[in-house]
Chains A and B, each alone.
Chain A
């Protein structure tokens, strides 16, 4: 049994190293300053970069945060402070269920809600899709972090005559802020790796665009397009983009694990 389960652990961890090291090696070879500063060249011409995609991913994440953060944090506060009833149980259950929804389905919903009425693909629709994807993670992390704040803090504050709402906003929330921020970073990491919902909401853009009402480029959609292309140079750029993405996401996830673990051990 020991050898079998040791073998399965090695077999399980092997792909992680295979994929990471392959991406890192291909990516490091492919990355250069052009990648960050240049625009994509016309089809077939070598060279060029992904400056608009990097900016686009940033804008989409920003929009996603705009839609997802208020909903996530405030409902997390509700669940932690006032949510010890059957409604709270149902909301927690639905949040968990929603976190398992496929990202492409969320993209279809954003298409129906935003793109169809606007008759236009736009960064706004992409932001809505990413926001919906971020909500479950943020809600759950906020609730957990607020629950970790000791009850004595609240009681001391109430004993001084501070109203409940002020206790939550000025005392509980700042205490839990570090954990909530890392939760937000985790959901940002996940959202920045999403491709499927952006395919038909933000669509993609080969030119520089920062307008919210126009289609916008993103790193992930670029990786998808460039990976399928028959041009060697485009494939190389796809590896460079994956390198960036993997570094960003794995670093943020590791940070999240590190911060939350030390918290629960304390």
Chain B
């Protein structure tokens, strides 16, 4: 090795990789960036840069392609697509309102169920549980995220829906339904409420994982300070939750983003009826479900174009939610890293 470097100073060197370069006539090492540029380095760096640019442009490319694909419906309906509630393939009138409604309702139900549960689990994992218990428990909660969506859907159709129809929904309508008008309607089983419950199970891991990480990022001095002035463990946890507020908001946004985009599990249990109804037991339709169900059966260009426009809407909303969530979560960890 030593000989080689000496030779490279004296003779016209040839890198062992086989690319021959004629270096500038300098004595020092060719690979020092201050002195000369090795062709191999330049090629390598630029090739990896090219692929990084591919990843960079992927989001914009996707948006562009979807805008191109939905030109017809964008031109025909414009903004009114968002608040028209007719979905009539026969007369070629398309409006996305039923799907937007269904998506929002199921996602809100999922959040309402998963957020308290996720907070409880995260508090347990970061504050209460000893190390030997916290690790396997976090692992189990993350395994929930590993189960594919179609398996959730299958289980939903064969287990959850019959249970809801026979036990869950009648129970709800007899108890909460007497004074809250939402928990009424015929107990089909397939409906927005069942879809919301399954979605809650699916977004629980993401809310738990992020909240647990945020809580762990808060230095123990905060807890010790609270305990030192006489707070009970519960009060100290409440104080910690207060400082973790923006992280919890970030976790909620990410969970919401996941719930909005979830397709297969929702498609199989939501009932697929493009109607807006205040009764949560009734079937509904979500944006992702209509794309999954009707894309291959779209009979006209306008039909396909409207479905692509719904996909575009879904994409834009999810991107915005994710971007906002990442910014929020990053700001929390930055706050405590500099502390």
Mark A residues whose CB is within 8 Å of B: 1-2, 4-9, 11-13, 15-16, 18-20, 22-23, 70-72, 74-75, 77-79, 81-83, 87-88, 90-91, 93-98, 100-106, 108-109, 111-113, 116, 132, 135, 139, 158, 160-166, 168-169, 189, 193-196, 199-200, 203, 220, 223-224, 227-228, 235, 238-239, 242, 245-246, 249-250, 253-254, 257
* Beta-carbon contact of B124 and A228 below 8 Å: no
Question: Bound complex: CA of A102 vs CA of B264, how far in Å?
Answer: 11
Given A168-B44, A223-B154, A97 contacting B323 (CB threshold 8 A): yes
* Beta-carbon contact of B263 and A196 below 8 Å: yes
* Given pairs A163-B15, A164-B44, 10 additional interface contacts (CB within 8 A): A5-B120, A5-B124, A23-B155, A72-B55, A75-B52, A78-B51, A91-B55, A104-B288, A106-B62, A249-B147
In this complex, what residue of A is CB-closest to B137? A9
CB-CB under 8 A from A139, the residues of chain B are 55
CB-CB under 8 A from B128, the residues of chain A are 2, 5-6
* Beta-carbon contact of B4 and A161 below 8 Å: yes
In this complex, what residue of A is CB-closest to B116? A8
In B78-113, the 8 Å CB interface with A consists of: none
A20 to chain B, nearest CB (A): 7
With an 8 Å Cβ cutoff, the count of chain B residues facing the other chain is 92
CB-CB under 8 A from A94, the residues of chain B are 55-56, 58-59
* Beta-carbon contact of B147 and A19 below 8 Å: yes
Given A94-B58, A105-B311, A220-B148, A74 contacting B47 (CB threshold 8 A): yes
Mark B residues whose CB is within 8 Å of A: 1, 4-5, 8, 15-17, 29-31, 38, 40-41, 43-45, 47-49, 51-52, 54-56, 58-59, 62, 65-66, 68-69, 116-121, 123-125, 128, 137, 139-144, 146-155, 157-159, 201, 204, 208, 233-234, 237, 254, 257-258, 260-264, 268, 288, 291-292, 295-296, 307-308, 311, 314-315, 318-319, 321-323, 326
Question: Bound complex: CA of A4 vs CA of B268, how far in Å?
Answer: 32
A16 to chain B, nearest CB (A): 5
Question: Bound complex: CA of A227 vs CA of B258, how far in Å?
Answer: 24
Give 11 A-B contacts (CB < 8 Å), ordered by A residue.
A6-B124, A12-B208, A70-B51, A74-B47, A105-B311, A161-B29, A194-B148, A196-B292, A199-B292, A249-B148, A253-B143
A53 to chain B, nearest CB (A): 13
CB-CB under 8 A from B44, the residues of chain A are 164-165, 168-169
* Beta-carbon contact of A227 and B31 below 8 Å: no
* Beta-carbon contact of A102 and B288 below 8 Å: yes
Looking at chain A's contact residues, the main secondary structure is: helix
Question: Bound complex: CA of A12 vs CA of B44, how far in Å?
Answer: 47
Given A12-B117, A112-B69, A102 contacting B318 (CB threshold 8 A): yes
Question: Bound complex: CA of A168 vs CA of B261, how far in Å?
Answer: 38
* Beta-carbon contact of B326 and A96 below 8 Å: yes
Which of the residues A93, A95, A165, A254 comes within 8 Å of B45, measured between beta carbons?
A165
Which of the residues B43, B59, B66 comes within 8 Å of A108, measured between beta carbons?
B66
CB-CB under 8 A from A158, the residues of chain B are 31
Total CB contacts across the A-B interface at under 8 A: 265
CB-CB under 8 A from A6, the residues of chain B are 124, 128
Given A12-B141, A195-B264, A135 contacting B49 (CB threshold 8 A): no
* Beta-carbon contact of A13 and B261 below 8 Å: no
In this complex, what residue of A is CB-closest to B60? A94
CB-CB under 8 A from B49, the residues of chain A are 78, 82
CB-CB under 8 A from B29, the residues of chain A are 161
Question: Bound complex: CA of A158 vs CA of B33, how far in Å?
Answer: 12
Question: Bound complex: CA of A160 vs CA of B40, how far in Å?
Answer: 17
B226 to chain A, nearest CB (A): 14
CB-CB under 8 A from A8, the residues of chain B are 116-117, 119-121, 124
Which of the residues B17, B119, B141, B147 comes within 8 Å of A246, measured between beta carbons?
B147
Question: Bound complex: CA of A165 vs CA of B148, how far in Å?
Answer: 39
CB-CB under 8 A from B296, the residues of chain A are 199-200, 203
A136 to chain B, nearest CB (A): 8
* Beta-carbon contact of B69 and A116 below 8 Å: yes
B8 to chain A, nearest CB (A): 7
Given A82-B45, A164-B31, A13 contacting B234 (CB threshold 8 A): no
Question: Bound complex: CA of A166 vs CA of B65, how far in Å?
Answer: 38
Question: Bound complex: CA of A139 vs CA of B54, how far in Å?
Answer: 12
CB-CB under 8 A from A20, the residues of chain B are 147
* Beta-carbon contact of A74 and B48 below 8 Å: yes
In this complex, what residue of A is CB-closest to B319? A97
CB-CB under 8 A from B263, the residues of chain A are 102-104, 195-196
* Beta-carbon contact of B146 and A245 below 8 Å: no
Question: Bound complex: CA of A1 vs CA of B140, how far in Å?
Answer: 22
* Beta-carbon contact of B120 and A75 below 8 Å: no
Question: Bound complex: CA of A7 vs CA of B128, how far in Å?
Answer: 13
